[in-house]
Amino acid sequence: MSSVESMNVTWTRGKGCSELARVLGGDDATRIQGDLAEACIAERTDLLISKKFPSSFDLVNVVVPVGFEPDQVTKVVAAVAGGPHSELSAATASRIATALGVEAEMVSAASNEEESEAAGEVLERLGLSHPSMSRRVVVVGGMEELVDDLDEGTLLVLGAGGGSWLSRSRTGPGAKLRRTAQAGAIIARSAPDRVFRFMDDPVYVAPLRQADDTLRFHPEATLAVADEGRLIGLVRRAGLKSAGSDPVASVMEDALSAKVDETLEEASVLRPEFGVDPIPVTDHEEHLVGALSLNQG
C-alpha cells in the first residue's frame, strides 16, 4: 500500500470530510461528485474520504470521519489488531498527527494476558513502517474499556471491521466514543491495489506506422497498437524486424490488456506476455487509457 503521504486524496460532501481532506491531502485534495467509481478512476484516487463507506465498490482505500474536530485533537491513537485495515489505520493516524503536530500512538488490544504476546507482535510489525509512533498493548474487556482509556482530546483511528459498531447503536459504545474522544474518530477500510492507481501514460504505435520506423523509435519487445484511441492489437519486435517498411498492422497480433479497474494480482497474469515492457491498460470499451509496468522481482 502506498504511504498516506504520497496518496492522491479525494473527498465527498459530508460532515468532517473537507476538514480531513485538508489535513491528509492539503491543497491537492480534490472533491468528487456523481458516480464515485468513475470519479475515483478518473482522478486516480488512492484514498477517498467519504461520509460513509460506499457499498457498491472496493476500488480504493476509504476513511470515514465521525465527529472529527481537528482543532480539538491533542493526540492521535490508531487501534490496530492485525486485520486487513490495520496498516491503513496506522498510516492515517501517523499522517494526521504529523500534519497537526501532535503525538501519534499505536494501541493493540488484548482480552487477556495470553493474547498480549500476539498483540505485541502486531505492533512490532506495523512499527517497522511507522517507527515514530509509540506503541502499547492494552488488556481490556471490550471497546468501551478501550474508549475509557483514551485521554481527553484523543482522535481514534480504527479499521472498519472493529468500528462497525459505531453506527449500530445510539446509546452504546458509538455514542460513548463520541462523548469520550472529543476530537472524534476516523474509520478506515483498505482496498486491493488496482491498476488505475499505478498505471502511466499509454505507450503505443499507430497501425499504419512503418515497421522499421517503429523499431528505431520504440525499444519495447512487445508494443500496443492503437487506432483512434482504441487498442486493436500488439506487435512484437521479432515481427517488426521481418516487416521492413511495411505497416505495423501487417505483423499485428491479437490485443491483450489489463482492465483499468482490475487488481494488480489479476493483471499479473499478463506478466509472461510482456516481461519488462508496459502492459496496455484499457477501459471496458477497449479505449487505451494507460500502461502498467510490473515489478520483475
CA dist., res. 295 & res. 142, Å (int): 42
Indicate the range of 78-82, 167-171, 261-265 predicted with least confidence. Answer: 167-171
Contact criterion met (CB below 8 Å) for 62 and 53:
yes
The reported pLDDT for the residue numbered 218 is 94
Single residue among 128, 158, 191 that ends a domain in this structure: 191
Q: Are 173 and 254 found together in one domain? A: no
Q: Does 136 map to a domain?
A: yes
Over residues 202-243, the pLDDT tens digits come to 999 999 999 999 999 999 999 999 999 999 999 999 999 999
Question: Which whole-number Å values give the CA distances from 69 to 10, 57, 65, 74, 285, in the listed order?
Answer: 19, 28, 9, 11, 44
Q: Does 48 map to a domain?
A: yes
Residue 172: CATH number of its domain: 3.40.50.620
Q: Which of 162-171, 178-187, 201-210 has the highest mean pLDDT?
A: 201-210
- Residues β-bridged to residue 109: 138
* Cell numbers for 157: 483511528
Q: Are 33 and 161 found together in one domain? A: yes
Q: Are 269 and 178 found together in one domain? A: no
The total domain count for the chain is 2
**Residue range of the domain that includes 276:** 196-292
Q: Does 297 map to a domain?
A: no
Q: Does 206 map to a domain?
A: yes
Q: Are 80 and 208 found together in one domain? A: no
Pairwise pLDDT comparison (87 vs 176), residue with the higher score: 87
Single residue among 149, 176, 191 that ends a domain in this structure: 191
Q: Does 139 map to a domain?
A: yes
